Structure 1
Amino acid sequence: MNIEVSGILGLLILIADIWAIVNVLQSGADTLKKVLWIVVILVLPVVGLILWFLFGPKG
């Protein structure tokens, strides 16, 4: 049971990270900020996603 739950949770985190990266790429931020946000999201998947959601580029 634990393997299935962690597998599903990992898949959900992966989907959320991909969604965040796509949104970063579509944002109006400059290239350096985009690259930095993508690196943060990739290196720290859960924490980076939360940080991006709170402090990332809007719109």
Structure 2
Amino acid sequence: METTPAPAAPARRRRSRAPFPVTVTQMPMATCQVCGRALAHRKGEVSAILTAHYERDHPELLGR
């Protein structure tokens, strides 16, 4: 029984359009003192970010 090779796939064209611009923002980091996880936050929001992290990941430390 002879097999016939599959036809070659058509060549893909590269798009000539330039990709849309991407902005990368560097955010300040805070570290959880319990688990060492790095948490990104906006300026002035470190307390809220850490509180949310502790409530979600370490509720036993908050007495909950």
- TM-score past 0.5 threshold: no
Q: Which has the larger radius of gyration?
A: 2
Higher relative contact order (CA closer than 8 Å, sequence separation 6+): 1
